[in-house]
Amino acid sequence: MPKPEHFVAPFDENEMAEVDKVKLNEKPSNLWRDAWRSLRTRPLFYLSLAAVLVIVLMALFPTLFTHVSPTDDCQLANSNGGPAAGHPMGFTRQGCDVYARVVWGARTSLTVGVLATVISGVIGIITGALAGFYGGWVDSVLSRIGDIFFSIPYILAAVVIMTTLADYRSVWTLAFAIGGFAWASLARILRSEILRVKSGDFVMASIATGRTRFKTLLSHVLPNSMTPVIVYLTISLGGAIVAEATLSFLGVGLGPSVMSWGNDISAAQSSLRTAPMTLIWPSIFLTVTVLAFITLGELVRDALDPKARARG
């Protein structure tokens, strides 16, 4: 009788196949490698990743995509004109090239979106980590503060801040107005994740070997709680881009001199009847960008969550 290759039943014979499958020659598995294995089979993942890369390139090097200046080559004679040679998306009301403006607008959206996400990420991670890890009065105080920020819809808060700071509008104030009010959900998510992680044996081992509690938090608890944070931040980057566009659309974002999709959509709404494409092109870019970030975040979340994977 030949020697069996596995010391368990062949995996196609029972439903526990994935559990029983012993792969001796493979690298040890971990969460991220498993996630990558499930992600790389999803065409949607590559599609959204490609869209994100294109938008990032556009924001960093707009001249790779267009040589037409979005502000200097405007001629009123072209006002609301349709597509022409070298101007595939037509012209705005001011006679500027729509394609060039859309390309240059990516920078504003992405800068404000990334900054706002970083700001809300930093505040959310600090409060969530401290509240979850230390518990007690620290948790009570920080969680109540979080409740307050959680119950103010952040667009309304940003409207108030930007109205008050009308004279100081910049990328930074806008990012603070959005990010400074969007961190509460992140803090809640991280807090509950840390509550789960901190009961692990490795945390006790770390403290037992003489690390201070704070160092344990930094070197063991936090790194092991980052998965939902990364997913949440990816999705909320999409949300921050929407917030920037909405505020610019309402006229309380960056001034009209700044190229931004929200500004362009707002400026084009008066010509909706006659030149709808002037409005629709920046809208498409805005939507695709947001869609790409949200899809990416959700795919990664599904890939990281073994329960979701089992549900299919």
Partner 1 sequence: MLMYVVRRILQAVPVVLGTTFLIYFMVFAMPGDPILAMFGDKTPNPAVYEALQQQYHLDQPFLVQYALYMKDLFSGDLGTTFSGQSVADVLARTFPVTLKLAAMAISLEFVLSVVVGLVSGLRKGKLFDNVMLVVGLILLSVPIFVLCFVAQYFVAIKWGWASPTVGADTSVGNMWLPAVVLALSLFTTGMRLMRGTVIDTRSRDFVRTAYAKGLPGRRVIPVHVLRNSLIPVVTNSAANFGVLMVGATVTEGIFNIPGVGNTLYQAIIRGEGPTVVSFVTVMVLAYVVINILVDLLYAILDPRIRYA
CB-nearer residue toward partner 1: 217 or 245: 245
- Beta carbon of residue 256, minimum distance to partner 1 (angstroms, whole number): 13
CB-nearer residue toward partner 1: 92 or 216: 92
- Beta carbon of residue 135, minimum distance to partner 1 (angstroms, whole number): 19
Which residue type occupies 144? R
For residue 87, give the 3-state DSSP assignment: strand
DSSP H stretches of helix in the chain: 17-20, 31-39, 43-60, 98-134, 136-150, 154-164, 171-179, 184-197, 201-208, 213-216, 222-224, 226-250, 261-268, 276-304, 306-311
CB-nearer residue toward partner 1: 66 or 266: 266
- Beta carbon of residue 266, minimum distance to partner 1 (angstroms, whole number): 8
CB-nearer residue toward partner 1: 125 or 158: 158
- Beta carbon of residue 249, minimum distance to partner 1 (angstroms, whole number): 5
CB-nearer residue toward partner 1: 43 or 136: 43
**Virtual CA dihedral for 60, 234, 242, 91, nearest 10 degrees?**
30
* CA–CA gap between residue 184 and residue 165 (Å, rounded): 23
CB-nearer residue toward partner 1: 195 or 291: 291
- Beta carbon of residue 178, minimum distance to partner 1 (angstroms, whole number): 14
| Cβ atoms within 10 Å of 162's Cβ, excluding its own | 22
| Cβ atoms within 10 Å of 79's Cβ, excluding its own | 16
Residues of the shown chain interacting with partner 1 in the complex, contacts defined by CB under 8 A: 144-145, 147-149, 151-153, 155-157, 159-161, 163-167, 238, 242, 245-246, 249-252, 265, 269, 272-273, 276, 279-280, 283, 286-287, 290-291, 294-295, 298, 311-312
- Beta carbon of residue 234, minimum distance to partner 1 (angstroms, whole number): 13
Give buried/exposed letters for 232-261 (b at 16+ CB in 10 A, else e).
bbbbbbbbbbbbbbbbbbeebbbeeebbbb
